[in-house]
């Protein structure tokens, strides 16, 4: 795993993807830092950091698009799959290399709260906690991009697919306000989600019996619950989307300066699920 990590990390800096990613990240974060903290006089660096989140949604697909799709296109993944390294070690090694590039940018950001203290009352504890949560949120974005990259051999498709999903996750909280809050609306939405879940499970397992069975049980449970206790579905789907939103977890520390440990656990859980699914995709190709 260490050899793969070193190889991947070196490739990001020999191909200029790493330096460009870090440079663009630092430049845009520096612009927001100048506007919010140096010019406007805000004492919290988290204001500037939170405003840059959309920039990273555009940058992360560039960082992750070649992680597995390039290996698949050039057929070099066959060498990795037949090597003594396990699939888990290969995925973790590549993932650690990508978050190391992102971590370099976050370490540079750690200078900004110190600069704020020179001009007045700084808040180092809350700012460094915000940088930490921002880093973990970025790790979630990278895990999503890595999963999409494992599904295709085209870097362009991987980048566009990752961008689309990250944009959906970014606007999920806002979109929840346009979803019907009635019991019937949430009931219909839950049925649609269960059908999508069936399709996703089939894609990863190629087993209609398992995917269809799980979805059928869920649909029957929803139907029974809707006709027995319809009040349960009132405002259910908007509430689910609001709770699953990645940005709301980050906003808690960015703008209220409270470290949400439930949000941190949610981020780590999403990372684990994304990496697990990535391993399953690679394993399926290994034995196909």
Q: Say if CB 128 and CB 109 are below 8 A apart.
A: no
Spatial distance between the Cα atoms of 36 and 237, rounded to a whole number of angstroms: 36
- Closest listed residue to residue 172, CA positions, set 144, 195, 148: 144
Report how far apart, in Å, the C-alpha atoms of 93 and of each of 72, 97, 99, 221 are: 17, 6, 10, 41
Token look-up 């961008």 returns: 163
pLDDT at 73: 63
Q: Give me the pLDDT at residue 101, please.
A: 93
- For 49, the token pair is 């950091």
Q: What is the pTM of this model?
A: 0.87
pLDDT confidence of residue 188: 83
274 and 140 Cβ atoms separated by less than 8 Å: yes
Give the integer Cα–Cα distance in Å for 52 and 55.
5
Amino acid 234: pLDDT: 81
Q: What confidence score (pLDDT) does residue 179 get?
A: 75
- pLDDT at position 283: 79
DSSP letter for each residue of 205-273: H--HHHHHHHHHHHHHHHHHHHHH-GGGGTTHHHHHHHHH-HHHHHHHHHHS----HHHHHHHHHHHHH
Q: What is the pLDDT of residue 142?
A: 94
pLDDT at 248: 80
CB burial readout 34-43, b (16+ within 10 A) else e? eebbeeeebb
Q: What pLDDT sits at residue 97?
A: 92
Q: Tell me the pLDDT tens digit for each residue of 184-235.
A: 888 888 888 888 878 777 776 666 777 778 778 888 888 888 888 888 778 8
Residue 141's pLDDT is 94
Q: Which residues of the chain have pLDDT under 70?
A: 71-84, 120, 204-207, 285-288
């Amino acid at each position: 795993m260490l050899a793969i990590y070193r190889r991947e990390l070196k490739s990001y800096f020999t191909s200029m993807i790493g330096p460009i990613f870090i440079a663009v990240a630092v430049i845009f974060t520096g612009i927001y830092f100048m506007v919010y903290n140096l010019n406007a006089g805000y004492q919290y660096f988290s204001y500037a950091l939170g405003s840059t989140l959309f920039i990273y949604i555009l940058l992360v697909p560039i960082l992750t698009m070649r992680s597995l799709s390039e290996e698949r296109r050039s057929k070099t993944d066959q060498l990795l799959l037949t090597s003594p390294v396990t699939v888990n070690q290969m995925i973790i090694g590549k993932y650690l290399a990508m978050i190391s590039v992102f971590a370099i940018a976050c370490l540079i950001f750690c200078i900004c709260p110190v600069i704020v203290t020179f001009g007045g009352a700084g808040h180092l504890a809350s700012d460094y906690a915000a940088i930490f949560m921002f880093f973990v949120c970025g790790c979630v974005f990278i895990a999503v991009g890595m999963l999409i990259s494992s599904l295709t051999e085209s870097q362009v498709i991987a980048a566009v697919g990752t961008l689309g999903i990250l944009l959906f996750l970014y606007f999920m909280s806002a979109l929840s306000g346009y979803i019907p809050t009635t019991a019937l609306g949430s009931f219909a939405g839950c049925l649609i989600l269960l059908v999508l879940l069936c399709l996703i499970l089939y894609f990863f397992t190629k087993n209609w019996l398992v995917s269809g069975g799980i979805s059928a049980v869920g649909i029957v449970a929803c139907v029974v619950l809707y006709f027995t206790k319809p009040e349960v579905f009132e405002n259910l789907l908007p509430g689910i989307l609001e709770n699953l939103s990645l940005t709301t977890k980050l906003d808690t520390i960015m703008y209220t300066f409270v470290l949400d440990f439930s949000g941190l656990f949610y981020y780590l859980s999403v990372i684990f699920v994304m990496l697990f699914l990535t391993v399953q995709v690679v394993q399926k190709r290994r034995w196909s």
